[in-house]
Amino acid sequence: MESRRRLPLAGPLTSSIVVALLATLVGGCSTTPSAAFAVSDLAIEAAGSEIGPGDEVVVTASVRNTGDTAGTFEADLTVDGSIEAQDDVDLSPGQSEGLRFAITAGAPGDHEVRLGEAAVNLHVSDIVKAAFHVGDLAFEPAGAEIEPGDEVVVTASVRNTGDLAGTFEADLTVDGAVAARETVDLEAGESETVRFALVAGEPGDHPVRLGDATATLRVLGPAAFELTSLVVEPNPAETGDRLEVVVGVSNSGGLTGTHAVRLSIDGKAAGTKEATLAGGEHTTLTFSVRSPAAGRHTVVAGDIETELVVWRIERPANGKILVNKLGGGMGRFKITNGGDRDGVVILARTSAPRKSLLAVYVRAGKSATIRGIKDGTYVVYFTLGRRWDAYSRRFTADQEKRRFTDPIRFKTTRVSGGTRYTIWSISLEAVPGGNASTDPIGEDDFPGVP
């Protein structure tokens, strides 16, 4: 209980008061009119027959001015000697007025409540009044996906844990606002299940409270599918290969949904699969398809696309001419490939654009001679490797590209008794006593085989 005391005014008596006292003593029988106050009907009001700790208690009383003059009654209400409430009452002689104070009951036991000369006993009981505990706050059906507009049933168990019967005002709040209300009367120790019907609002998490119990109502938005990846294995592939196309699918929405994924290659349908996912889930769909013809192809799933390269692996015959724009002459060109990789040798102009004028395939460990080369100066390029792709006309494994440092020249002249022409011999691998050097060359500078 809060203690508040009125402090008396401090200071010495004035001389005028002393004179008045002397006059009274000399006069013998004279009196001074004053106000006097009498308190009656001091009583305690409470909401029930039992007052418990923390209950609000109303104290009432009547005060009367029994004196000869008007005055102010300083109404200090004390509990166990400590001031709990105060009021000042101005009263004329003979006037009465009712007083009313609101205080809070303290610890169990008997407490003296006093106002002026009147006193009354306040008994605070140790019996616990009705007290309510709410548990098992849940939604029905349990685990269901809830979307805006769905009806949701909220259930909870309410138990009276106090010693007396009471009424529980069941205010169900959603997002802090009262959404439903019910009154439950329970005897001491009695339990009851309460049920509320709500309509789900906007998507999101909504705190739901009943008494001291809380739960979260999750309202889900619609399913939202997106394709996250598209992978073709193997890539590059060979003609006739069986391919696996793996598509990643995610549902970034709230509700479970089903999404159809359509696969196409070069605009032609290659298959359809469905993915059923709860909100936030991810999965992959695998399509098994046969590789198309050799070349570059566009594989599409939804809004994702990737390029598929298909090789046609063939090994040309030794000495096979792949390009020949140098016919009509008499020059000869002998090529020896003493290594363990096949090679393609190219003759190109010394000036740009350096396009292939002659290209010949020479297998590993073999030689080839090309006849009939017309006169001119040419740069010699060659590439070594394995697994020749007849479509892209390049090696797909262990590929190396080089160029002879010095160009070669073919020249035909008439001489006495016949014709003189040029014969060139090169080796694609380093040989003892060789007199030619080669330089590595990048993809962009290599003429290639058209």
Please enumerate in sequence order all residues whose Cβ is within 8 A of that of 142, keeping only pairs 6 or more positions apart, or say none: none
Cis amide prior to 234 (ω within 30 degrees): yes
Nearest to 282 by CA among 248, 231, 253: 248
pLDDT at 33: 83
β strands within 235-337, DSSP E: 237-238, 242-251, 257-265, 268-277, 282-290, 295-301, 304-311, 321-324, 331-337
pLDDT in tens, 238-252: 999 999 999 999 999
Domains in the chain (CATH in brackets) are: 15-124 (2.60.40.10), 132-219 (2.60.40.10), 225-311 (2.60.40.10), 321-445 (2.60.40)
Q: Give CA–CA dist 297/387, Å, rounded.
A: 21
Residue of 84, 100, 85, 128 whose CA lies nearest to 41: 100
DSSP symbols for 175-225:
TTEEEEEEEEEE-TT-EEEEEEEEE--SSEEEEEEETTEEEEEEEP----E
Give residue-wise pLDDT tens across range 160-185: 998 889 999 999 999 999 999 999 99
The C-alpha atoms of residue 50 and residue 123 are separated, in whole angstroms, by 9
Q: How far apart are CA 163 and CA 240, in angstroms?
A: 85
| DSSP code, position 347 | E
What does the alpha-carbon distance between residue 149 and residue 341 come to, in Å, rounded to a whole number? 72
SS3 per residue for 137-167: EEEECCCCCCCCCCEEEEEEEEEECCCCCEE
**Pair 250, 281: CB distance under 8 Å:** yes
pLDDT given for residue 258 in this prediction: 97
Question: Residue 194, class by beta-carbon neighbours within 10 Å (0-12 exposed, 13-18 middle, 19+ buried)?
Answer: buried
**Residue 173 has what pLDDT?**
95
- Which residue ranges in the chain fall short of pLDDT 50? 1-30
Amino acid 9: pLDDT: 31
DSSP single-letter state for residue 6: P
Q: Report the b/e string of 323-341 with b at 16+ CB within 10 A.
A: beebeebbbbbebbbeeeb
C-alpha–C-alpha distance, residues 296 and 292, integer Å: 9
Enter the DSSP assignment of 92: -
* Amino acid 17: pLDDT: 33
Write out the H or E segment, with its range, that includes residue 56.
Answer: strand 56-65
| Chain centre distance of CA 28 | 96
